[in-house]
Amino acid sequence: MINFKAEIAKEISKILEIEAQEIQKSIETPKDQTQGDYAYACFRLAKELKKAPQIIAEEIKQKIEINPEIIEKIEVVGAYINFFINKQTLAKEVIEEVSNKENYGASEIGKGKNIVLDYSAPNIAKPFHIGHLRTTLIGNALYKIYKYLGYNTIGVNHLGDYGTQFGKMIEAYKMWGAEYNLEKDPINQMVDMYVRINALCKEDEQVLERCRNNFKLLEDGDAECVKLWNEFKDLSMVEFKRIYDILDIHFDSYNGEAFYADKTQEVIETLEKKGKLIESEGAKIVDLEDAGISTPCIIQKANGSTIYATRDLAAIMYRAKNYDFDKCLYVVAYEQNLHFKQIFEVAKYLVDEKYQKGLKHVAFGMVSLPTGKMSTREGNVVKIEDLLTETIAKAKEIIEEKNPNLETKEDVAQKVGIGAIIFNTLSTVNIKDQVFDWNAALNFQGETGPYIQYSYVRTNSVLEKAGYLPNLNEIKTEELNDEYSYNLLKTIYNFQDVLMQVTEKEEPSILSKYLIELSKTFSSFYNENKIICENKDTQNARIYLTYITGKVLKQGASLLGIKMPDKM
């Protein structure tokens, strides 16, 4: 498909003798469509060329030689050169590309590049609650989009399956295990134990010390501690995998913290060899003052046990060796900003520069309830399973009301309910905090998942009403020369560019906003144009444009993890 931006950049490059790729980065899309499809601002050239930007813009316009089948008109407005795409060429390109390509917008740009994504990572023996929702869904969307663009993606669920909390769980079981039946409702049973032991640790320092010692015993391979830890982990994984199956999320690796426990010695030895380990109050640390980080990174505690920073560093070394990553993305809340600054700085002593550059923290805001922050210790959480069940039930109620004769109510309610949660989560910019509001998640009006699904269903109903899909060679693109058809074609054309922007910024909300824009643009096209009409050529063209719109809506939604119902 013609890359209009690249074609414009190539012709400007010939005049200015600047790399076309550099020029392409500066080509904008005007918000006001009357000012063209693309614009190039000449402000930055004024100093170098010693001319007013307006004069430079006019001179470029006079000199540029661009194929009228690609750009039909060029205008200068102030310092901007505005380019208008040839509508017929755009229509032909878009319709042929979407029709002939099974995965429209897919690419091989990532061929030969490895992307590791570390996301979800619930804690063993704790509920899978809505605090894990954003990491799980952001990570899954990025995984799918990178894969779609040709990257070799490795999804890692770095389970929270190690650390002092397990020393606490082991101590709780030693003290009160006989009171609990972990085979029945295991997560709630384990949470109750954890809340109890946590409260006791606050009151009794000796109990807290026993918990710490339990974790050291676990690290040293104590048979009883390892047996209990495995039991907690196995019971938790059954619960977690059930949630992942509902969301249709899959991982390439479930290597959690424990997997790296026996690999931490290499971290310690490498840092010692390089003279970076300092002893402080019996613990071993790396001082990061020179890097502008006032808090040192603890590598080994005074009792000889490691902490999660050590295990994260071991994971970086392991991933560099085994995955040869170009990027290693950590989809973790911004509360961990300092932790990632520390480990990325320490990683400079452990892995080659290529891997250091590839490390990135994809930070996101916290999820809280309207009543405040959630805490497992206080038992104040909304479990994802409860959220899914409730939302699907609410979706079914609405579907019963709107379309009581629909045969596939259960399936549609599942898709609409889960889609509402996914879209609600991914429509917010990563870094913003979210207050989880049931009403917002279940709102079936406005910029929501159900609105996108409804737009897709509407494309299906148009095709059903028409009773046929014209052949591609029957489509006369000149029949799509009205404003609403053109806007829809142009929005569809932008799909791959949107996916590229998602990976450049690690920001799935860009795709969410695009799908809303596509839905709204289709709605305008649908409302302003009679699709089933007297003129057969016009009807064929509009039916086909409706068909490819549905195709792109379905593909875009699937990259967010949303499934489309055929009817609602």
Instruction: Return the percentage of the chain with pLDDT > 90, whole number.
Output: 84
Residues 318, 154, 129: CA angle, nearest 5 degrees: 100
Q: Is 153 helix (H, G, I), strand (E, B) or coil?
A: strand
| 375 pLDDT above the threshold of 60 | no
**Cβ atoms within 10 A of the Cβ of 504, count?**
9
227 and 324 both lie in a single domain: yes
pLDDT tens track for 12-39: 999 998 999 999 999 999 988 889 999 9
Torsion of CA 233, 237, 239, 243, to 10 degrees: 150
For residue 125, pLDDT over 80 is answered with yes
Is the residue at 93 inside a domain? no
Structure tokens, 33: 């469509």
**Which DSSP category does 562 fall into?**
P
Q: Say if residue 357 is in the same domain as residue 389.
A: no
pLDDT, tens digit, 9 for 90 and up, residues 426-479:
999 999 998 767 677 667 778 999 999 999 999 999 999 999 999 999 999 999
Tell me, yes or no, whether 54 and 138 share the same domain: no
Establish if 375 belongs to a structural domain: no
Whether residue 46 is found in the same domain as residue 141: no
- Pick from 390-394, 411-415, 487-491: least confident: 390-394
Spatial contact of 170 and 225, defined as CB atoms under 8 Å apart: yes
CATH number of domain containing 553: 1.10.730.10
Domain-located, residue 11? yes
Q: How many angstroms separate the CA atoms of 298 and 296, rounded?
A: 6
- Same domain for 38 and 81, yes or no, is yes
Positive/negative CA dihedral, 140, 351, 339, 128: positive
CA distances from 23 to 15, 62, 298, 497, 501 (A): 11, 18, 46, 16, 17
Neighbours of 519 (CB within 10 A): 22
- Confidence class for position 270, pLDDT limits 50, 70, 90: very high
Among 326, 343, 368, the domain-final residue is: 368
Tell me which residue has tokens 């650390």. 163
Residue 180 clears pLDDT 80, i.e. is over it: yes
Contact by Cβ (8 Å): 94, 3: no
Pairing of strands 277-280, 283-286: antiparallel
Tokens in use for 289?
């003052």
Whether the Cβ atoms of residue 263 and residue 318 lie closer than 8 Å to each other: yes
pLDDT at 336: 96
- Of 161, 146, 104, 216, give the one whose Cα is nearest residue 508: 146
Biggest alpha carbon–alpha carbon distance for the chain: 87
Cα distance between residue 568 and residue 256, in whole Å:
40
- CATH code, domain with 39: 3.30.1360.70
pLDDT over threshold 70, residue 372? no
User: Does residue 212 form part of some domain?
Assistant: yes
Tell me the per-residue pLDDT of 482-508, one tens digit each, with 9 for 90 and over.
Answer: 999 999 999 999 999 999 999 999 999
The pLDDT, as a whole number, for residue 68 is: 94
Is 101 contained in some domain? no
At 345, which amino acid appears?
A: E
Long-range contacts of 342-348 (CB under 8 A, 24+ apart): 342/288, 342/293, 342/295, 342/297, 342/309, 343/297, 343/309, 343/312, 343/313, 343/316, 345/288, 345/291, 345/293, 345/297, 346/271, 346/276, 346/286, 346/288, 346/297, 346/299, 346/309, 346/313, 347/313, 347/316
| Nearest Cα to Cα of residue 26 among 15, 17, 34, 18 | 18
Q: Which residues contact 97 (CB under 8 A, 6 or more apart)?
A: 1, 104
- Give me the pLDDT at residue 438, please: 65
The β-bridge partners of 84 are 73
For residues 436 and 470, state if they share a domain: yes
Q: What secondary structure, in 3-state letters, does 192-259 show?
A: HHHHHHHHHHHHCHHHHHHHHHHHHHHHCCCHHHHHHHHHHHHHHHHHHHHHHHHHCCCCCECCCHHH
Is 70 exceeded by the pLDDT of residue 9? yes
Q: Is residue 92 part of a domain?
A: no
Query: Phi-psi region for residue 182, left (φ > 0), alpha (ψ -120 to 50) or beta?
Result: alpha
Question: pLDDT at position 441, please?
Answer: 67
Number of domains in the chain: 3
> Model confidence at 288, in pLDDT bands (50, 70, 90)?
very high
The parent domain of residue 43 ranges over 4-85
- Residues 329, 240, single domain; the answer is yes
CATH number at residue 345: 3.40.50.620
| Residue 129 designated active-site | yes
Is the pLDDT reported for residue 360 higher than 70? yes
What's the whole-model pTM score? 0.93
Q: How confident is the prediction for the chain on average, in pLDDT? A: 93
Assess contact for 430 and 509: CB atoms under 8 A: yes
User: Are 159 and 32 contained in the same domain?
Assistant: no
- Based on the fold, state whether residues 340 and 388 are members of the same structural domain: no
Three-state SS string over 80-144 comes to EEEEEECHHHHHHHHHHHHHHCCCCCCCCCCCCCEEEEECCCCECCCCCEHHHHHHHHHHHHHHH
What does the alpha-carbon distance between residue 251 and residue 244 come to, in Å, rounded to a whole number? Answer: 9
When pLDDT is cut at 50, 70 and 90, the band that residue 379 belongs to is: low
> 383 pairs with which residues across the strands?
129
Query: What is the distance between the alpha carbons of residues 311 and 256, in angstroms, rounded to a whole number?
Result: 9
pLDDT at 373 over 70: no
Residues 426 and 530 grouped into a single domain: yes
Kindly report, residue by residue over 225-255, the tens digit of the pLDDT. 999 999 999 999 999 999 999 999 999 999 9
Q: Cα separation of 488 and 518, whole Å?
A: 7
**Any residues with CB less than 8 A from the CB of 144 and at least 6 apart, and which?**
558, 559, 560, 561
Q: Are 319 and 466 in a shared domain?
A: no
d(CA 470, CA 531): 13
Is 361 a catalytic site residue?
Answer: no
Asked if residue 406 belongs to a domain, the reply is yes
Percent of the chain topping pLDDT 70: 97
Same domain, 30 and 64: yes
Across 366-375, average pLDDT: 66
Catalytic residue among 87, 132, 301, 415: 132
3-state helix, strand, coil in the chain (%, to 5): 60, 10, 30
pLDDT tens digit sequence for 34-60: 899 999 999 999 998 999 999 999 999
Q: Is 465 among the catalytic positions?
A: no
Q: Looking at per-residue confidence, does 376 or 212 come out higher?
A: 212
* Residue 56 maps to a domain: yes
Which is catalytic among the residues 129, 284, 301, 383?
129
Least confident range from 93-102, 240-249, 380-389, 438-447: namely 438-447
Torsion angle in degrees (nearest 10) through CA of 7, 8, 9, 14 = 90
Active-site residue among 126, 144, 276, 361? 126
What's the distance, Cα to Cα, between the start and end of the chain in Å? Answer: 34
What is the Cα–Cα distance from 151 to 112, expressed in whole angstroms? 7
Q: What pLDDT is stored for residue 497 in this prediction?
A: 95
Q: Who's near 348: CB < 8 A, 6+ residues apart? A: 356
